[in-house]
Amino acid sequence: MPYRATRQEIEAFEADGAVLLKGAVGPAWRERVAAAIERDIEDPGPFFHGYEAERRGRFHGNLRVWQNDPDFRAYCFESGLPEAAAQFFGASKINLLYDQLFVKEPGTANPTRWHNDQPYWPVRGWQIMSFWLALDPTTAENGRLEFVRGSHRWDRWFQPEPFGRTVTRSYDDNPDYEKMPDIEAARDDYEIIAWDMAPGDVIAFHALTVHGAGGNLRDDVRRRGYTVRYTGDDARYDTRPGTAKPLCTDALEDGDPMDCALYPVVWRREAVAAA
């Protein structure tokens, strides 16, 4: 069954830029995603961006994994999250932007730096969001996500930087972007929101919401997160500098609607109405 966002969840998303969807993903999907994660760790697809941890542990990151594994693909297309995205925006059409893995094995102390996502992505528009699925119990001790409440409405675009010291991927400078302030050093100046999560809980958040995560300081619990990102009616391909190269495509020109093989349409209101 597609997840049905409540009015309160939609209002919280609009006001805060992030909302917890308790138990949004059931055990059958979780099992399929968890098995696909192990397959990707064993034999990563081409956009692997993991790194050895500073002391112990290991971080496995990868993106566009839906193109390598039928179970990731099925989750992105059929899990009901596209329809949930349509509910959050009142959209008539949803495209898959991409999916991404963030696995912090026990003891991986590296935090996820504070950032907002849209500066990394070659897309403009407001209807752009992510769903971060927890596969493990996730708390402050093993790297739960944190969000700056309402920061999606700042209209501030922060210069992308690589995640993790050993990652060589770089981003072109964009003169219209600004440097991310040191939020960690001034946490009291921001209203930071976070939720402990159980497996199957999802956080829905806007592409401009500033967020980060702690390291996994537990020895006994993994922290497997799997994010799927969708765009709605007003999204247009954007060739501005500074975006992630694996998300750029020659199939689109600046200003085009997203529809193409890389960004497939995964939900349409008229198709649902016709059915």
Ligand X SMILES: O=C(O)CCC(=O)C(=O)O
Contact positions vs ligand X (CB under 6 A) = 102, 112, 117, 130, 132, 211, 213, 225, 227
Q: Which is nearer to ligand X, 47 or 132 (CB)?
A: 132
Q: Which is nearer to ligand X, 96 or 270 (CB)?
A: 96
Q: Which is nearer to ligand X, 61 or 82 (CB)?
A: 61
For residue 52, which phi and psi values (nearest 5 degrees)?
A: -70, 140
Q: Provide the pairing of β-strand 145-148 with 211-213.
A: antiparallel
Q: What DSSP string describes 52-69?
A: E-SSS-EEEEEE-GGGT-
Do 266 and 127 meet the contact criterion of CB atoms below 8 Å apart? no
Q: Which residue sits closest to ligand X, CB atoms considered?
A: 102
Least Å from the CB of residue 273 to ligand X: 31
Q: Measure CA 212 to chain center.
A: 11
Least Å from the CB of residue 103 to ligand X: 9
Do 149 and 205 meet the contact criterion of CB atoms below 8 Å apart? no
Least Å from the CB of residue 217 to ligand X: 14
Least Å from the CB of residue 259 to ligand X: 23
Q: Which is nearer to ligand X, 91 or 197 (CB)?
A: 197
Instruction: Report CA dihedral (52, 58, 62, 65) to the nearest 10 degrees.
Output: 140
